[in-house]
Amino acid sequence: MLRRWVPADRGPLARINADPEVMAFRFAPLSRRQSDALIDEEEAGFDRRGFGLWAVERRRDRRLLGFTGLGTSDFGAPFCPAVDIGWQLARHAWGQGYATEGARAVLAFAFDELGLSEVVAHTTRVNTRSRAVMARLGMTHDPVDDFDGPWYRPGHPRRRFVLYRLPRPAWESRGRIRA
């Protein structure tokens, strides 16, 4: 289930954000304060523009598994500005299809509710698990779109980013059928 954030999520999300394995392809694990700030920013974003990163809750035991949702990419790369989809789950929740299931619901919202013409996703080239989610969703990668993440210094092993695109017609013909 995807839902807005509640105060009880702060502890569980902080534990996910503090896990070095979960955060291996990000800058660094987050402190409790940084993790709380992420929830505050997402909640403010929902109020302001109607989308953001939703909390992912497992129905059977109501456990917080992580998040998935939409953000905006506006950092000067050729494909910007764009709406991007992202995901992050607790380590114990990997390998069970939750990220792809949640992302399909996010894409349905993006195309059907927001009426977007395209959703993109990007990650550092070596993040194979995240790239596999993008591929399962029917997103396609053209190396011509790859870019250097401005968040990393030149020469950093995670600096090269891949871009995956899902134009509305591709969602209509492929993604929706699989959802």
Ligand X SMILES: CC(C)(COP(=O)(O)OP(=O)(O)OC[C@H]1O[C@@H](n2cnc3c(N)ncnc32)[C@H](O)[C@@H]1OP(=O)(O)O)[C@@H](O)C(=O)NCCC(=O)NCCS
When asked if residue 86 is in the footprint of ligand X (CB under 6 A), the reply is yes
Long-range contacts of 166-169 (CB under 8 A, 24+ apart): 166/107, 166/118, 166/119, 166/120, 166/121, 166/137, 166/138, 166/139, 166/140, 167/117, 167/118, 168/111, 168/116, 168/117, 168/118
- Return the amino acid letter for 12: P
When asked if residue 58 is in the footprint of ligand X (CB under 6 A), the reply is no
When asked if residue 88 is in the footprint of ligand X (CB under 6 A), the reply is yes
Task: Choose between 28 and 115: whose C-beta lies nearer to ligand X.
Answer: 28
Contact positions with ligand X (CB under 6 A) in 126-155: 127, 129-130, 133
Task: Choose between 97 and 169: whose C-beta lies nearer to ligand X.
Answer: 97
When asked if residue 46 is in the footprint of ligand X (CB under 6 A), the reply is no
Which range, of 45-53, 88-96, 109-117, 138-146, touches ligand X by CB under 6 A? 88-96
What minimum distance in Å lies between the beta carbon of 18 and ligand X? 13
Task: Choose between 35 and 127: whose C-beta lies nearer to ligand X.
Answer: 127
Task: Choose between 19 and 118: whose C-beta lies nearer to ligand X.
Answer: 19
Site string (11-40) toward ligand X, x via CB under 6 A? -----------x--x---------------
Determine the Cα angle at 31 with ends 25 and 35, to 5°: 80
When asked if residue 123 is in the footprint of ligand X (CB under 6 A), the reply is yes
Chain residues binding ligand X by CB under 6 A are 22, 25, 86-89, 94-100, 123, 127, 129-130, 133
